[in-house]
Structure 1
Amino acid sequence: MHWRSRVLVLACAGALAAGTAAAADAAPGPHAAPAPAGAGRHSVTLLTGDVVQVERQPGGKQAATVQPAPGREKIRFHQQEVDGHLSVFPEDVTPRLASKQVDRTLFDVTELIAEGYADEQSAALPLILTYRKGTDLRKATAKADLGVTLTSVNGRSARASKATAAAFWASSGDIERISLDRKVRASLDRSVPQIGAPEAWAAGYDGTGTTVAVLDTGYDPTHPDLAGRVREAVNFTTSPDTTDHFGHGTHVASTIAGSGAASGGKLKGAAPGAELLIGKVLDDDGFGYESWVLAGMEWAAHSGAKAVNMSLGGGATDGTDALSLGLDALSAQTGTLFVVAAGNDGEQGAYTVGSPGTAAAALTVGAVGRDESLASFSSRGPRLGDNAVKPDITAPGVGIVAARAAGTAMGDVVDDHYTAASGTSMATPHVAGAVAILAQQHPGWKSSQLKDALASTSLTAPGLSVFEQGGGRVDVARAVKQRVFATGTLDLGAVEDGKAAVSKEVTYTNVGTTPVSLKLALEAKSLAGVPAADGIRLDKSTVDVPAGGTAKVVLTGDPAKLAAGTYSGRLTATDGSVVVHTAVGADKTAPKHKVTISALDLRGKPAVAPWLLMYGEDYRYDVNTWLGGDSLTLELGAGVYYLTAEVDGGGDGLTVQQVVLPEIRVTGDTNLVLDARKAVKVEIETPKPSEQAGIWSYYTYRELGPRRIANYAMQFDYTRELRVTPTPKVTTGAFEFGSRWSRIAPPLTATVLGDRDSLTTRYLAGSPKLDGWRLLPAVSAGQGKPADFQRVNVRGKIAVVDPDPADYNRDDVSRAAAAAGAAMVFIVVPDGWSTASVPSISAAPFLPVPTVQLDRDEGVALLARLKWLPALLSLRGIPVSPYLYDVVQTEHDRIPERIVHRVTAANTATVTTHYRQAGSGGEAKEQRFAWKPWQDFAVNEYQRLVATPSTREEYVSSGDVQWQHRVKHGLVWDEMSPLQGGMTTAPRTYQDGEKLTEDWFAPVVRPAIPRGVPGLDSAREGDNLRIRIPEFVDSQAGHYGFNEGDDQAGPAVTSAKLYRDGELVSEQPYAFGTFPAGADPATYRLDLSVRRDSPEWLFGTGTRTSWTFRSARSASTALLPLLQLDYAVDADSGNRLPAGRKARIGLTARFQDGMAAPDVRSMKAWVSYDDGKTWRVADVKRTGKSYEATVDHPPLGATNSYVALRVQATDSAGNSVDQTVLRAYGLSAK
């Protein structure tokens, strides 16, 4: 069980027009290919202004990073991965999350992307702002664009610009609640008789004199079936008019009150005499916002509508979302009955009824077929949170034929005037029509009476629980004819041990002229099938209902006689002809106990815990909160819980104290003390000296029953150490604690002679770096202003400055020191600032002398010493680390008393990594993401500069950690995002002690299906070709990249064309997608053209590749015989060969992984030294299963310094490849 998607959809499950937005709610289509450039990558700006970058890999793993908003660099971020959703919480949002002032969905990155609120899709966050009672909504303010007034929730819609989101967040403290304004999109010849409408018509009731509002996509005013039916239409969207250009609203409106004129009266709606109000709350693409829907609900309820049809709905909620709360409020204020689709998520099982159908006052409608069986798509209860009974009723919703809006293609088109569709969207208007009929018969009835009468007289389907069908399928004929009805649904709610039994009344109403005596029968059982027996009981077995009066029966849930579980059942009352029933629900919860939590700092004093999570098997008791120094008391159900919290130790703020309690057994009232003093340091020991560089993170992972819960926290490297509390070994479920580190040779080691410990220093961005050993005296230089340097001799010395935070520019200090002759500058970090590594866009220095930050406390102590004593500093600089440790430290099932991760061959692989010079900048960025087996998201991997060409020994944790390495040459402005535009590997693991070599951008860089990358295969699937060909691979197996441009050159150019028997059948931007294919055998040619040319991309600047192959429809998926070319060029680290000499180029033709080797019969090659203007034939000879081309390079002056290659290969089956690569490699003078 988990919180499901909250996206609102038209509750329509049938086939919709191809390409329409609502098609997503029909049956799932074929698997969509991930786009090669950007479609699997998203930036998401949070409400706080912080930016999360998420990228999906071909194998399904995802990488995520966080970029703090300006001024928020010291905020800690926590990432949670719960039931497949990634949420990112800045630490300062915790109090407002805990008080429910802020909607957690605003930090659910997975949900924001699914709703279309990624930055590439939306420049603002749409919000619903709820204000405190008494606020004049006309004068409400916020640093956002305010929209429509929503009186039902005492709020306003708003749009917070992402560019100024941080300012909105900082000024939003007085707003009572901030919610995401979720997107809304669009969710009769047999069905009307199925519900008994003709019998009601025959009795004189067709809805005449009643008004039904339809909130949908508008209506077609030209449709004959709706002529004269609509009293008023109002547009709440940004579309220009109320006309239905989508098709959904017209279909729904005619199902309610259509005249059937276009069918000769055959396809009438359920209540053809009713009058309609049309509220367009979804735009012409079938999309809208919750605020539009709320505004439409308010208008409809205040416009005299007896019923409001809402054939739209969202994901499962507990009924406390804005739409549900607004519905309940409007029902109470106006007496309007809202008839709402249950949703189309039934194939996901229980707990799928969506908002606003989860509102208590809603008449929530599921769908059945013509044979009365429950439609597979119809959402099931119980309601999330309290396990209340939903839906309330069902109606026909499969293959419903109703009016088709002109020019639309929703559903299965029947003719010009009608179309067929399926979904709870189609079931709902049948019930709305039934409400109109019953309201005509009983004009004085309240909405609750109409709801009860329809639910209690519905036709119950045997074998279906009330959580599937509510009361049953609406039977308006019985509702009109029968004179007795009952409470439709009765929820006993929570039945708890230690508390009194819960009793509620069922009311029977007799509107007839004769009394009725009814026999009562109750059946109830738990979801597990355990009978309730006496645990749910009646106070009598019969009830006498007087003519024109009511009678009551008491239903009781007894905690002493009920086992824990969620119960449902049906109370049936009958006298042989009268039959009424009540859907019954009860939730016997585990015993609840008080859990009191407090925290202590390193001195044993009450402490703040800025972030505290507590989870158990039952999601209803999840806790995401904080401690402000006082204790917190929670009421939780008995069971096993996991807690993790960050406790403020009361020290310098540079140490993290994490308290972890992985197995808390709550069997009675419990006191938990989170004691920072018990935390022990996490130590990483490496064979060579090392220090942390950039972001590091730590995590806890816990399995409790069916739940999988992970929590991550990221830290910048100004945080000195991580401490965590030891734990006993867990006895149930899996538990894991771990941390992720990137360590390099210390760039600078500075020690005052005579002291044992080194100083804590960090280079400033743009600073030159010391190389080797130096011994320099230090001198105090005041605040580092030019006048200060005039008062002291700093020539050839280290100038130690303590700047004024209010008037301080680090670059100016460095320049002033250099002008005075200083050899180096130590800037004491101002109070409250940090010594974090400052991201550097480029390795090129722009400051005049080495300039570093010095820890505040250490700097103050050094300055105090310099007042009385000289100080000589020993300095050792390593400007480029020759090694790197990428480490994941892991503890399973427990956290030991001492946590020491020693990097050894037993837990590490050694990767000798060559970074070739493939761009003109002399540097590259690289990044390595890590996933544990249970992780869907890897988080917060820093981009690291590396010089090119260079070779580095990289020590990478082995075992079950999956790693993905990325490399890109040149400038990258966004330091903390996943690298894009270069090359990457597929996620992989390493073996203990494994030694291997990685060679990045080795020639020839060209399009190909890479070796060793799952998910990048090309295959025949029915009458489609699924093509997956990256634009770039190099000569290392597993490396691949896509043509995504770069920061200097802008977008690159790629084009793919598919021919069948010489005729063009498809042209697409990439050779990465689905291409059409005919059923019969045919010869296909796939042409791929790629161009990319920038200072960051010197080789493989233009390619043309043609693959020719045969293919026909097959019974199963079949890999395509696409010949791939591999090259072996013995180039130097700059990807160049000597000019004026002969060279041998290795050539191999292969198929993609999973296929036998091809029988290659021909291999030809040509070379060009003028970017393909002229070509020379190369001598090609076979060497075993491969080939070798001998190339006689001319002198450098006779070339453009580059070599272009063209290679053709053919196998015995006639498959061939013809590939041209401009600037395949370079030439050098030596």
Structure 2
Amino acid sequence: MRRRQRRALTAGVLATALAAAGLTASPADAQEKPAATVTGPRGTFTLITGDRVSVDAGGHPRIERGPGRARMRFVSSHEGGHQYVIPVDAMPMLRDGRLDRRLFDLTALGEFGYDDRTAELPLLVAYPENAAARARSAAGAARVRTDLPAAHALAVRAGLDDRVELWSSLTRGTSSTRTLAAGITHVWLDGKRRVSLDRSVPQIGAPTAWQAGFDGDGVTVGVLDTGIDADHPDFAGQIAAIHDFTGGNDPGDTVGHGTHVASTIVGSGAASGGRYRGVAPGAKLVVGKVCATTECQDSDIIAGMQWAAPQAKVINLSLGDTDTPALDPLETAVQDLSHRYGTLFVVAAGNEGKPKSVSTPASADDALAVAAVDPDDQRAYFSSRGPRVGDNHIKPEISAPGVDIVAAAPGGGYAPMSGTSMATPHVVGSAAILAGRHPDWSGAQLKAALMGSAKPADADSLYDQGAGRVDVGRAVAQPVAAEVAAIDFPVQRWPHADDTPFSRVIGYRNTGTAPVSLSLSVTPAPAGMITVSPATLVVPAGGRAEATVTVDTRVEATDGLYPGAVTATGAGDLRVRTPFALNREIESYDVQLDHTGRDGRPATEYETVAANLSTGEFTTLVGEPGGGTMRLPKGRYALYSTIHEGDVSTLLVQPVLDVRGPLTEALDARTARPVSLTVPQRDAAALSINVSANWNDNFRYPGVQLSGVSVADVFFGRIGPAVAAPEFAATLGVGLARPGRDGTFRNSPYTYDLAYVRQGDMFTGLTRKLSPKNLATVKTTYRSQSSTATATRFHRAASPGGPGPIGSSTSFDLPFHATEYYNTDGGIVWTSTFVEGDNLTTQESTFQAGKTYHQTWNVAPFGPTVAQPPAWSPLGYVGRDGDTISVVSPPLFGDASGRPASRDDLQVHYRLSRNGKEIATADGSYVDFPVPADKATYRLEATVTRGAPDTLSTSVSVAWTFTSAHTSKPEPLPLTTARPTPALDDTNTARAGRAMTIPVALDRHPGSAAAPNRTLGVSASFDDGRTWVALPVLHGAALIKHPRRPGFVSLRMTATDTAGNTVTQTIQRAYRIA
């Protein structure tokens, strides 16, 4: 069995499924407000190592090293649509397959909701057999939730502040040689899986089996899902056992998925007069609730599996997640329990719809992976396709109806659902019927018989439907079955003129009372490539017989994958098909990669990746001493390698490796060079260095970044000679500052941020001597507004039309004055981010070398702004597309300089009215409101509050009115925001008892029909909004007289443009007076 790793319940196309889960009658006059769709932004992730990674809206990571890890280096990469940030001390265990790569997959962690808004990180800590106590000790401060013997693992939970200690407890050794502690074999992320009959039951031949006397009677099946409505009439007398593994002590089903699945298997159809009868109504049911919602914790699923396996002959798992070539905990549990109890796990293939997307644990060797078909036996468009990632094993293996399946819903009714989740119980019910026919058969025998009797689809459909659509009527009726479910032939390497023929034996067993004569054939395959003998085979009554399948890939034929089947036919329409897959390798070559460390010795700690620039497929080589060989199809590749030795890491890159024959590449760390920089301040020291390689194709292909804290830690260079690589760019970012006595850079009076981009080639080190004439100087003031009085600034660069590196990150006490130096090579654009507590403010800047600039940050009042919408949004911050009004996280705490600011931790409350009547409300950052097509007047209100440690802008609200009708394309809506700019000191304070003017700028929503302003009104409150005073306004400025007592000033502004659009915004505690 291969090494494999990952999860989601797989009810695909659940838009209709979940909407219909509560399909009950409503009064004809019942009206509901349209639902608003809400999504959330990306956030901050504290890794298992204790290091913290923050991801901005552009997907750029910022790393804060954990306590005691100040010198740790990191490798960041984009692979297969996922973003990874991996500390170097985790790489030896990742290389050995002992550590789950998802622990450093920011994309997966975000999808699972495992960012820092979740207090605990769920883990599975695996141990050798009978060594749970030792593993429990190694888990240290982490909370042990449960023991899972089926996976030989403890389910533990690591708090945000416990992870550095846990990492030290679970692992041993130095950075480049770190291993798991004694008594620990693996550490996995406790991920999540997602829940992925009147026509469909006859479609698979179940009534034929019933007529023969087999309906699952005497067989127990298991359903591990979202629970069950045990009071539904269709389950009367059929539930043998039920248990909740989610910690809620309530096995009921609030989602509807588990009830639907169970009904498809055993439902009696009592509530429908028998119309929606399940496949095996005579079977009994054990139900484990392993999903409290549509998401299911791995540890809960495993607990349910080990509970159900001793009781059930067949178990339904309509759940899954993205598969990788490594073995993950659920796949391990499937294999272990299948072998221990002879149980057959039938698992949904998934709903991704694309090649190589079959999910785990359907990907496990012993699982029966189920695809979905429509009523015409055609593959459902959403059904995941094979082959299995990593080894091209046949997956999915069988198909069943999965489109618009009507089955029981909570509450006593029925609902239609679509997905491979719905196809899977059809196969489970079929297996139960077959088990009733052959009670002594193992799960493996049931799998082979179901696949062998399936109705075949088109000749090229093996990786779409497996053996074909399940046909339980045929499975029950046929006396002969194959002993293997499928044949996986080994890869035949290119070229093929010298290939050696080989053979495999396939056995057939006859459970009947008379001998059966079989005619054997192979389809489809080029003449002579795959043959079977003898052509006629007699299988004795109650006995078995064997045939030999011979493969000879020397024949003239096109290279590539050949799916097919060995078909045995006999009298009375007997047919047994055994599918196979043969990979006659396309033109490919060995690429020898020799790795040498900086000490001249063969390197052992490295990871090397070749990414095909045409297909996006990755091939990885890790940790073989001195190197190894990659087998690569002919083509162009991105090649990069990180080599780690003690406290030093090296990044080597070949932007384009053209594979047209056998190659040997020397990846010698000694050819790489460091950064050497000279700046005017002699006490400056490096605080960060980031070097990256980027292939500019919207992240389809890899980007890799090596991050360190010292120029002595990081080396980089090109592999081999320069080649033409227009799609490639290398970036280098270095930050410098003055270290304090404690060795940190906190309160450094200056910083240098230096960014360099090289298009078409890789840097091999970099040397620069810098002076004020080739740098921009920015005199910066950072004001204070909260009681925390501390902040962090960090910088990122971008080159015009291309990528840019990450710069420095430093902390300081507020208020603070600093001098910041930036290079301007190649028109670099700098994005600066200021973080005070949970408040994050950003600004893009371009500078000219030799010039001095002045900037002031954290300037009150903080309020709404629509002045700088994200470039990626055609709707701006608020817009309309067709008949949907969308809110795209408008900043409600922008500073008085006009910079947008965000608060990911706060819920914004939105209220939408149409022609004076409220039509929808929502809480979130990103909201979609469906609206009628005709023209109307709308009022959109947004309100948000924040508390300690923030002392200013504690409550902000804005209300816009505008007219809108159906649009033919995305259009920003005509909004305006008011931006008051009073003169305040470094603590955002004005003098009590004094009069002053408050200029008010009005910012129109770019790209919208917002018109010039016509009226402006300003009011102030000195008692937190209990009473308001209208202020005189002249030439866009309000005149205010502060009371003598210290306190706060709140502001309310109203404006109307010449088109009649209005805005009213209120800022509680806009600034302080003293």
Same fold (TM over 0.5): yes
Alpha-carbon contact 2:7-2:192 (below 8 Å) kept: yes
Alpha-carbon contact 1:205-1:437 (below 8 Å) kept: yes
- Which residues in structure 2 correspond to 1:1061-1140 (within 5 Å)? 1061-1066=915-920, 1073-1074=927-928, 1077=931, 1081-1088=935-942, 1105-1114=958-967, 1116-1126=969-979
- Alignment of 1:292 with 2:303, yes or no, is no
Displacement of 1:382:
0.4
Displacement of 1:384:
0.7
Counterpart of 2:52 in structure 1 is 52
Deviations 1:170-214 (A, max 9, x none): 343222222223223432111111111112211222222323222
SS in 2 for 1:680: coil
- Which residues in structure 2 correspond to 1:300-311 (within 5 Å)? 300-303=308-311, 305-311=312-318
- The farther-off stretch of 81-90 and 310-319 is 310-319
Alpha-carbon separation, structure 2, partners of 1:371 and 1:1106: 53
Alpha-carbon contact 1:211-1:275 (below 8 Å) kept: yes
Alpha-carbon contact 2:244-2:289 (below 8 Å) kept: yes
Which of 680, 683, 687 is residue 673 of structure 2 equivalent to? Answer: 680
Alpha-carbon contact 1:695-1:717 (below 8 Å) kept: yes
Displacement of 1:960:
7.7
SS in 1 for 2:704: strand
| 2:620 counterpart letter in structure 1 | V
- Alignment of 1:518 with 2:519, yes or no, is yes
Counterpart of 1:431 in structure 2 is 427
Alpha-carbon separation, structure 1, partners of 2:657 and 2:575: 50
Alpha-carbon separation, structure 2, partners of 1:193 and 1:909: 77
Counterpart of 1:597 in structure 2 is 594
Alpha-carbon contact 1:485-1:509 (below 8 Å) kept: yes
Counterpart of 1:623 in structure 2 is 620
Alpha-carbon separation, structure 1, partners of 2:224 and 2:925: 43
| 2:6 counterpart letter in structure 1 | R
- Alignment of 1:337 with 2:337, yes or no, is no
Sort the Cα spacing of 1:106 and 1:1212 in 2 relative to 1 into closer, same or farther, 3 A. Answer: closer
Alpha-carbon contact 1:389-1:491 (below 8 Å) kept: yes
Counterpart of 2:175 in structure 1 is none
Sort the Cα spacing of 1:336 and 1:687 in 2 relative to 1 into closer, same or farther, 3 A. Answer: same
Alpha-carbon separation, structure 2, partners of 1:1075 and 1:30: 7
Counterpart of 2:900 in structure 1 is 1040
Which of 491, 496, 519 is residue 494 of structure 1 equivalent to? Answer: 491
Which of 632, 641, 645 is residue 644 of structure 1 equivalent to? Answer: 641
SS in 2 for 1:17: helix
SS in 2 for 1:262: helix
Alpha-carbon separation, structure 2, partners of 1:679 and 1:1056: 54
Alpha-carbon contact 1:64-1:940 (below 8 Å) kept: no
Deviations 1:926-962 (A, max 9, x none): 2213457999997685134387575746424455866
Sort the Cα spacing of 1:129 and 1:890 in 2 relative to 1 into closer, same or farther, 3 A. Answer: same
Sort the Cα spacing of 1:965 and 1:553 in 2 relative to 1 into closer, same or farther, 3 A. Answer: same
Counterpart of 2:176 in structure 1 is none
Displacement of 1:994:
9.8
Displacement of 1:343:
1.4
Alpha-carbon contact 1:34-1:40 (below 8 Å) kept: no
Deviations 1:862-886 (A, max 9, x none): xxxxxxxxxxxxxxxxx733xx542
- Which residues in structure 2 correspond to 1:1006-1017 (within 5 Å)? 1006-1011=863-868, 1013-1014=870-871, 1015=873, 1016-1017=876-877
Alpha-carbon separation, structure 2, partners of 1:701 and 1:316: 26
Sort the Cα spacing of 1:705 and 1:503 in 2 relative to 1 into closer, same or farther, 3 A. Answer: farther
Which of 464, 468, 472 is residue 464 of structure 2 equivalent to? Answer: 468
Displacement of 1:665:
6.7
Sort the Cα spacing of 1:563 and 1:70 in 2 relative to 1 into closer, same or farther, 3 A. Answer: farther
Sort the Cα spacing of 1:351 and 1:1137 in 2 relative to 1 into closer, same or farther, 3 A. Answer: same
- Which residues in structure 2 correspond to 1:983-1022 (within 5 Å)? 983-985=841-843, 998-1001=855-858, 1005-1011=862-868, 1013-1014=870-871, 1015=873, 1016-1021=876-881
Alpha-carbon contact 1:54-1:62 (below 8 Å) kept: no
Counterpart of 2:531 in structure 1 is 538
Deviations 1:630-662 (A, max 9, x none): 5344564466562423354x9xx6x76554455
Alpha-carbon separation, structure 2, partners of 1:455 and 1:1205: 72
| 2:401 counterpart letter in structure 1 | P
Alpha-carbon contact 1:647-1:659 (below 8 Å) kept: no
Counterpart of 1:764 in structure 2 is 741
Which of 360, 365, 374 is residue 365 of structure 2 equivalent to? Answer: 360
Sort the Cα spacing of 1:1087 and 1:545 in 2 relative to 1 into closer, same or farther, 3 A. Answer: same
Counterpart of 1:453 in structure 2 is 449
| 1:538 counterpart letter in structure 2 | T
Counterpart of 1:891 in structure 2 is 758
Alpha-carbon contact 1:1007-1:1029 (below 8 Å) kept: yes
Displacement of 1:337:
2.1
Which of 576, 579, 590 is residue 580 of structure 1 equivalent to? Answer: 576
- The farther-off stretch of 418-427 and 203-212 is 203-212
- Alignment of 1:42 with 2:44, yes or no, is yes
- Alignment of 1:273 with 2:140, yes or no, is no
Alpha-carbon separation, structure 2, partners of 1:1094 and 1:438: 65
Sort the Cα spacing of 1:239 and 1:171 in 2 relative to 1 into closer, same or farther, 3 A. Answer: same
Which of 165, 179, 190 is residue 181 of structure 1 equivalent to? Answer: 190
Which of 706, 713, 716 is residue 706 of structure 2 equivalent to? Answer: 713
SS in 1 for 2:387: coil
Structure with higher Rg: it is: 1
| 1:942 counterpart letter in structure 2 | S
- Which residues in structure 2 correspond to 1:284-433 (within 5 Å)? 284-303=292-311, 305-318=312-325, 320-346=327-353, 349-406=354-411, 416-433=412-429
SS in 1 for 2:701: strand
Which of 1031, 1044, 1055 is residue 1209 of structure 1 equivalent to? Answer: 1055
- The farther-off stretch of 630-639 and 1150-1159 is 630-639
Which of 833, 839, 860 is residue 966 of structure 1 equivalent to? Answer: 833
Alpha-carbon separation, structure 1, partners of 2:460 and 2:940: 53
Identity of aligned residues (%): 30
Alpha-carbon contact 2:36-2:920 (below 8 Å) kept: no
Which of 691, 694, 714 is residue 684 of structure 2 equivalent to? Answer: 691
Counterpart of 1:776 in structure 2 is none
Counterpart of 2:781 in structure 1 is 915
Alpha-carbon separation, structure 2, partners of 1:92 and 1:1104: 47
| 1:1085 counterpart letter in structure 2 | R
Sort the Cα spacing of 1:948 and 1:1042 in 2 relative to 1 into closer, same or farther, 3 A. Answer: same
Counterpart of 2:168 in structure 1 is 170
Counterpart of 2:885 in structure 1 is 1025
- The farther-off stretch of 725-734 and 548-557 is 725-734
| 2:204 counterpart letter in structure 1 | I
Which of 1144, 1165, 1188 is residue 1036 of structure 2 equivalent to? Answer: 1188
Counterpart of 1:565 in structure 2 is 560
Displacement of 1:401:
1.5
- The farther-off stretch of 470-479 and 937-946 is 937-946
Alpha-carbon contact 2:127-2:152 (below 8 Å) kept: yes
Displacement of 1:380:
0.7
Displacement of 1:390:
1.0
Alpha-carbon contact 1:488-1:583 (below 8 Å) kept: yes
Displacement of 1:152:
4.2
| 2:524 counterpart letter in structure 1 | E
Counterpart of 2:794 in structure 1 is 927
- The farther-off stretch of 117-126 and 417-426 is 117-126
Displacement of 1:999:
4.8
Which of 180, 188, 191 is residue 200 of structure 2 equivalent to? Answer: 191
Alpha-carbon contact 1:949-1:1134 (below 8 Å) kept: no
Alpha-carbon separation, structure 1, partners of 2:147 and 2:895: 58
Alpha-carbon contact 1:1142-1:1190 (below 8 Å) kept: no
Where structure 2 has 5 or more consecutive residues not aligned to the other structure, the ranges are 24-33, 171-180
Counterpart of 1:613 in structure 2 is 608
Displacement of 1:287:
4.1
Alpha-carbon contact 1:928-1:964 (below 8 Å) kept: yes
Counterpart of 1:860 in structure 2 is none
SS in 2 for 1:494: coil
Counterpart of 2:1029 in structure 1 is 1175
